[in-house]
Amino acid sequence: MKRYIIGLIAVACIIWTSPPRAFSESDKAAQRPAIFGRVITAPTNSTDLYPYYSVNQDGDGLGEELPSSIMYFKKGSKEYSTSMTVTDLSLCKRPIETKICQSFVNTITEKPPRLGTDISDTRIGGAGSVTVYLTPIEAVAFDGVDIATAFIAINTQDPPLGEISLYIYARKGTNLIELRTPVKNCAGQLKPDESDVSFYQRCVSKHVIAEARSKAKELTKLFKLNK
């Protein structure tokens, strides 16, 4: 099995309140849609996780711009901010999906964005909020993928305040994988004439980075991949 040691983790902003539509754990029993035939990546932990199949069309609802995907959540939890989303490049067909998937891949393979960059259009999971990149973090191991990057981010509907989340973006063959979990809130008041970027910098403390690294170990353990 391959092990990819992530050299970078970034900080961004996004708020996830719920999946694209209301659902319950009974959805896990639903028949897997045929369009996910090329999505072969899945977590091994079927005891604590359940899948939700998000099939997006050309609607104008929240999250309809995202490529169809399989999302995994913790059983018995209403906290949807900890999740794993998997799609395949073959599902990135519409122009907006193609743009999102390419931006996702670019985030993994190219230099990290500058602190304060809006990276909302890189997400393959989550909707209804803005994601702002903050800072990279090194040396996170994610077994079973070809390449990956990890980062913490602020999820927000009211910049610059928001929730700092840890993200791991990865690629395995043609499968794209997004892991996410909250770290802490980025709260407080802007100082007179303070920019959003300066505020974000104040949120990226050594403690937050250490907490993100700890969360990364928990996240990659919870969503350990199949071979």
Extents of the domains making up the chain: 3-8+34-222
Read off the pLDDT of residues 63-97 as tens digits, 9 standing for 90 and up. Answer: 788 999 999 999 988 888 999 999 999 999 999 99
Provide the pLDDT for residue 127.
Answer: 81
Provide the pLDDT for residue 126.
Answer: 84
Asked if 86 and 175 touch (Cβ cutoff 8 Å), the reply is yes
**Res 22 pLDDT > 60:** no
Read off the pLDDT of residues 99-158 as tens digits, 9 standing for 90 and up. Answer: 999 999 999 999 999 999 999 999 999 888 899 999 888 889 999 999 999 999 999 998
Read off the pLDDT of residues 144-189 as tens digits, 9 standing for 90 and up. Answer: 999 999 999 999 998 899 999 999 999 999 999 999 999 999 888 8
**Res 17 pLDDT > 70:** no
